[in-house]
Chain A
Amino acid sequence: MIKNYFKIGWRNMMKNKFFSFINIFGLSVGLACCMLIALYLNYETSHDSQHKNAPNIYQVVTAFIQNGNKRMKMPNTPAPMAGALKREFPEVIETARLLKLFIEDKTIIQFNPANGERKSFLEEKGYLADASFFKIFTYNFAEGDAANALANPRTIVISQKLADKLFGTQPALNKVIHVNSNTNGEQDYTVTGVFKEGKTPSHVDANFFLSVNGGNMEGFIKRQANDFASNNMFYTYLLLKPGTNAAKLQVKLPAFMDKYASKDLKNMGFQKEQSLISLRDIHLSSEVESNVTPPASKTYLYVLFSIAIFTLIIACINFMNLSTARSSKRSSEVGVRKVLGAEKSTLIKQFLGESILMTLIAFIFAIVITLILLPLFNQLSGRVITLSVSKDLMLFFEFLVMALITGVLAGSYPAFYLSSFNPVKVLKGKLTNSLAVVAVRKGLVVFQFIISVVLIVASVVIARQMNYMRTADLGFAKDQQIVVPLRTTAAKSAYAALKAELQENSGVISIGGSAYYPGIFNPSDNLIYKEGQTTAEGKRTRLNYVDDNFLQTLNIQPLAGRLFSPDFHSDTTNGIIINEKAAKEFGFSSAKDAVNKKLFNKFQDNTNTFTIVGVVKDFHYEDLHLPVTPYGFMLNTAGFNYMVIHAKPGNIASMLKTIEISWKKYDQNDPFDYSFLDEDFDKNYQADTRLAGIVGYFTVVAILISCLGLFGLAAFSAEQRTKEIGVRKVLGASVKTIVSLLSVDFLKLIIASIIIASLLAWWLMNKWLQEFAYRKDIDWTIFAYTATIAVFIGLITIGSQALKAALANPVKSLRSE
């Protein structure tokens, strides 16, 4: 019987190639979208599943509370936290600390083989980790012994990729490499392990792990051995005894904090609330801010998921509409079959068989499309998802089930509709579509177009916001700014000479040095308050340490007072320049009022005093998602992390060459590296750029499938009305009137969709825009654009068919009836 269904299905498909093409194409693309997105969701939810202890691993999370206001939870804890937790609680079997080397920084890794050329690389994703880290987490070691790999000072565990880069086919174990990082200083390390990067992603995306001891951090950690309040920079992981209830352990944490941290916290003017997050939840949780790697964006997952479902629905609707529209062609078959003894249920099965056959064919195309588009999708989504027919059989099976379900969904409505025909009625003559089914069809077309129009509006709004962010005035000059990182002691000490030499170059406007620059993470902050206040009233103020030329280089504008200057020696000891926002938050009546006033900051038992030398206009040191908050600059004379060179417009390539030559002169050891400030700043919009890309692509896909469906319906309606058109033409109707006669019904549907979709899209996109502190709000022009695009696309789709019908020779069409 099944064979019979498929046979008839196949013949029907071949007989109506045009409709079959529309259906199979739509379903293939819809299924491919779903597959790609299912792969993505699968990847995102599989994070950290490879660790054998995963169910018992927890990360310690901190909520900082100041003046009763709870800030977002952060996974950051002080250095002594891990040890104390293990000592205090028997259910904590093991703890490990992880410290990320400064995120925006690269680490210099060098290998000097006895015979051969020196290899030197700038590597990212470096961490300091306790030896116990590899007892808690499962890493697949290709060389070395995981359990003891980081037990000794100055030992390093590297990824297979890095090992290949450094040593080629040679074994890496026990080789000595030179590691130089901003965070941990410059030392020689012995390779004690090489781990293979598995297919399953982890929230720790490490390239290498350094032992905690043996570098600059060792001394810092020892100094902080009893400080449970500040130095919140370590990630602390706990391995709990199997069967431990983490919630019960969490309840005991406030008492623990009381015992260890209450005194320090009182001094610092804030409280901390500790909690635990399960390892498998880390990547999917949006509650915890700035984890080791950014968590999966919920918005992003929802958007992707809805897009996948909607594309598939659009394709299913095409199938439903074209099937019911063409039902008069199938009705007599239904009648005959019933007369021959077919029951309704048998016919339902037959029609479902046809739709399933169609989706199975689409399924095969979809797999091909998925395999072809996966690299592009990876690029768009910034992931490394792999798919191979041999390795992911289970996944393919799941896709098959998905295709079958789609087949049943798409086929069920037509199947029930078609199989319900009364044989006596349909055999008597041609059957006209019932009003109800026409209404359903119209409703479905409107629904399809609503999805498409919402996607168009979304694309336009996102594109406008992206354009706004890229071109907005940030309050400083972001173009033509070359950033040169000064990573090593040698590079830092070369700064003065470099600056002096390059400033002579006619292509250089100005050069400044700083600890941070706008667009990158600015980790330094203090609670600062003005005279007459206490630390409890302090405002969290980001701090940057700059030279006397940095503000001029970035063209940050003074509002009151002055910028730093070598003429004022006192600037280096206690001068501070604040932004407008800070002046307001500290409670000064105006920028002028703030100048020469004193500011204070309490750290442990010391109080620091600053004098405000100037107030600058607000500028965006963070991207436009975030509002401008209090910011302060302090003057340093050396030890800068970055040299920023403001170049004149012109030949950037030769400018870079010039800088590199000077660099080589003053620092022979370190490789020259640079970036452009505007590009670094725009990196903060990576997630938005991805969203824009994905929504853009899928909008095109959705419109394409919807239009194909509409095209099919229009073609069918024109075909059905051939005779009517012939008669009208003979009676003298012009081509124009016939085209409008055929188009007007569809156009009404499109216009209805535009109206509903505009309201929906306005609400949705307004929500999305709330994520940005600075945004380009939606206005009517967007809807004008969208409506024009949608009507235009609709007109072309329908009009072409209407025109074809209107131009047909009436004599021919009348004779053939």
Chain B
Amino acid sequence: MLSLQHISKHYQVGGNKNFVINDISLDVDEGEFVSIMGPSGSGKSTLLNIIGMLDEPTDGYHYFVNEAVHQLKERQRSALYKQYIGFVFQAYHLIDELTVYENIETPLIYQDVKGSERKAMVADMLDRFQIVGKKDLFPAQLSGGQQQLVGIARALIAKPKLLLADEPTGNLNSKQGEEIMELFRKLNKEDGVTIIQVTHSEKNAEYGTRIINLLDGRVESSKKF
């Protein structure tokens, strides 16, 4: 599904190049569930953002569903991104001014999905996550676990092939975290969504089919189950 070849990213600090990602090569197949681990500052988020095309590497080749991302223009990249990728954050990043319903609906609006169709899709999603009763509440009125559920529902609404999650359980207690992980596993198994998550928890990492350890911007180890 995606292939990174000799990807590097550095920041210019003073006269020195500070490498955050240092020559990483990585292939992820469709249907995989990858967990990325590593100490704080090792470049996990940066790597995830590069995969998600939110950030650009300073070097290397990036292929996604057989497209050479590093050669694409902003618009094309954005189109590709919209079609295939969903994002989940540690801090949920729901839009405070929008209701649960509207938060979930937003990606569809940006994809120019018709109103009636949107309604059906959002209703379906609310139903699936069992949050129909909360659809008119605002994020501030929800608990952290509920907010993250909405965040995931929103990431999934446009039926992405690839779900990227940056410490999705970082702000949740262990029970809530477990529920989210179960959900991920189900998504991966039953719906065939490819998932790449960043996590600090060994336990959560083990939900994945592969664990990659980063250290100082390099892949320290990678093992498949």
Task: Give chain A's interface residues, CB within 8 Å of chain B.
Answer: 1, 4, 7-8, 11-12, 15, 332-333, 335-343, 346, 423-424, 427
Query: A96 CB to closest chain B CB, in angstroms?
Result: 67
Q: How far is the CA of A336 from the CA of B106 in the complex (A)?
A: 10
Please determine whether B110 and A423 come into contact, CB atoms closer than 8 angstroms.
no
- Name the residue on B nearest A9 (C-beta): B97
Check: B93 CB closer than 8 A to any chain A CB.
yes
Known contacts: A4-B109, A346-B110, A424-B49. The answer to whether A339 contacts B54 by CB under 8 A is yes
Please determine whether A332 and B93 come into contact, CB atoms closer than 8 angstroms.
yes
Please determine whether A343 and B97 come into contact, CB atoms closer than 8 angstroms.
no
Chain B contacts of A336 at CB under 8 A? 93-95
- Name the residue on B nearest A333 (C-beta): B95
Please determine whether A341 and B97 come into contact, CB atoms closer than 8 angstroms.
no
- Name the residue on B nearest A423 (C-beta): B54
Chain B contacts of A1 at CB under 8 A? 109
Query: B49 CB to closest chain A CB, in angstroms?
Result: 5
Please determine whether B54 and A424 come into contact, CB atoms closer than 8 angstroms.
yes
Known contacts: A340-B110, A341-B111. The answer to whether A8 contacts B98 by CB under 8 A is yes
Supplied contacts A1-B109, A336-B95, 18 more A-B pairs, CB within 8 Å: A4-B102, A11-B97, A11-B98, A12-B97, A333-B95, A336-B94, A339-B54, A339-B87, A339-B93, A340-B154, A341-B107, A341-B110, A341-B158, A342-B110, A343-B110, A346-B110, A424-B54, A427-B93
Chain A contacts of B49 at CB under 8 A? 424
Check: B55 CB closer than 8 A to any chain A CB.
yes
- Interface 1/0s, chain B 66-100, versus A by CB < 8 A? 00000000010010011000010101011111100
Query: A348 CB to closest chain B CB, in angstroms?
Result: 14
Q: How far is the CA of A424 from the CA of B158 in the complex (A)?
A: 21
Interface of A is mostly: helix
- Name the residue on A nearest B151 (C-beta): A336
Query: Can you pick out 14 interface pairs between chain A and chain B where the beta carbons lie within 8 Å of each other?
Result: A15-B97, A332-B93, A333-B95, A333-B96, A337-B106, A338-B54, A339-B93, A340-B87, A340-B154, A341-B107, A341-B111, A343-B110, A346-B110, A427-B93
- Interface 1/0s, chain B 30-48, versus A by CB < 8 A? 0000000000000000000
Interface residues on chain B, size class: 20 to 34
- Name the residue on A nearest B75 (C-beta): A343
Chain A contacts of B158 at CB under 8 A? 341
Task: Give chain B's interface residues, CB within 8 Å of chain A.
Answer: 49, 54-55, 75, 78, 81-82, 87, 89, 91, 93-98, 102, 106-107, 109-111, 154, 158
- Name the residue on B nearest A12 (C-beta): B97
Q: Which of B49, B55, B110 has the most CB of A within 10 A?
A: B110
Query: A513 CB to closest chain B CB, in angstroms?
Result: 81
Known contacts: A1-B109, A4-B109. The answer to whether A343 contacts B78 by CB under 8 A is yes
Q: B106: which of A332, A340, A343, A424 is its contact (CB, 8 Å)?
A: A340
Q: Which of A4, A8, A335, A336 has the most CB of B within 10 A?
A: A336
Closest A-B pairs by Cβ, 5 of them: A341-B110, A341-B82, A11-B97, A340-B107, A336-B93
Please determine whether A8 and B97 come into contact, CB atoms closer than 8 angstroms.
yes
- Name the residue on B nearest A7 (C-beta): B102
Query: A760 CB to closest chain B CB, in angstroms?
Result: 42
Please determine whether A427 and B97 come into contact, CB atoms closer than 8 angstroms.
no
Query: B148 CB to closest chain A CB, in angstroms?
Result: 14
Chain A contacts of B98 at CB under 8 A? 8, 11
Query: B85 CB to closest chain A CB, in angstroms?
Result: 9
Please determine whether A337 and B97 come into contact, CB atoms closer than 8 angstroms.
no
Chain B contacts of A335 at CB under 8 A? 93
Chain A contacts of B102 at CB under 8 A? 4, 7
Please determine whether A424 and B55 come into contact, CB atoms closer than 8 angstroms.
yes
Q: How far is the CA of A341 from the CA of B49 in the complex (A)?
A: 14
Query: A683 CB to closest chain B CB, in angstroms?
Result: 59
Q: How far is the CA of A332 from the CA of B91 in the complex (A)?
A: 11
Q: How far is the CA of A177 from the CA of B10 in the complex (A)?
A: 99
Query: B181 CB to closest chain A CB, in angstroms?
Result: 22
Q: How far is the CA of A786 from the CA of B82 in the complex (A)?
A: 58
- Name the residue on B nearest A345 (C-beta): B75
- Name the residue on A nearest B96 (C-beta): A333
Chain B contacts of A332 at CB under 8 A? 93
Q: How far is the CA of A7 from the CA of B87 in the complex (A)?
A: 25
Query: A627 CB to closest chain B CB, in angstroms?
Result: 67
- Name the residue on B nearest A340 (C-beta): B107
- Name the residue on B nearest A428 (C-beta): B45
Known contacts: A342-B110, A423-B54, A424-B55. The answer to whether A337 contacts B95 by CB under 8 A is yes
Q: How far is the CA of A338 from the CA of B55 in the complex (A)?
A: 12
Query: A133 CB to closest chain B CB, in angstroms?
Result: 66
Q: How far is the CA of A346 from the CA of B158 in the complex (A)?
A: 18
- Name the residue on A nearest B81 (C-beta): A341
Q: How far is the CA of A227 from the CA of B122 in the complex (A)?
A: 93
Query: A199 CB to closest chain B CB, in angstroms?
Result: 47
Q: B78: which of A7, A8, A15, A341 is its contact (CB, 8 Å)?
A: A341
Q: How far is the CA of A340 from the CA of B49 in the complex (A)?
A: 13
- Name the residue on B nearest A336 (C-beta): B93
Chain A contacts of B97 at CB under 8 A? 8, 11-12, 15, 333
Please determine whether B89 and A427 come into contact, CB atoms closer than 8 angstroms.
yes
Query: A488 CB to closest chain B CB, in angstroms?
Result: 79
Q: How far is the CA of A337 from the CA of B154 in the complex (A)?
A: 11
Query: A327 CB to closest chain B CB, in angstroms?
Result: 15
Q: How far is the CA of A259 from the CA of B13 in the complex (A)?
A: 92
Chain A contacts of B78 at CB under 8 A? 341, 343
- Name the residue on A nearest B157 (C-beta): A340
Query: A242 CB to closest chain B CB, in angstroms?
Result: 57
Chain A contacts of B87 at CB under 8 A? 339-340
Q: How far is the CA of A806 from the CA of B97 in the complex (A)?
A: 31
Query: B95 CB to closest chain A CB, in angstroms?
Result: 5
Q: How far is the CA of A8 from the CA of B106 in the complex (A)?
A: 12
Chain A contacts of B154 at CB under 8 A? 340
Chain B contacts of A340 at CB under 8 A? 87, 106-107, 110, 154
Q: How far is the CA of A1 from the CA of B110 in the complex (A)?
A: 9
Chain B contacts of A11 at CB under 8 A? 97-98
Query: A268 CB to closest chain B CB, in angstroms?
Result: 81
Chain A contacts of B81 at CB under 8 A? 341
Query: B170 CB to closest chain A CB, in angstroms?
Result: 14
Chain B contacts of A7 at CB under 8 A? 102
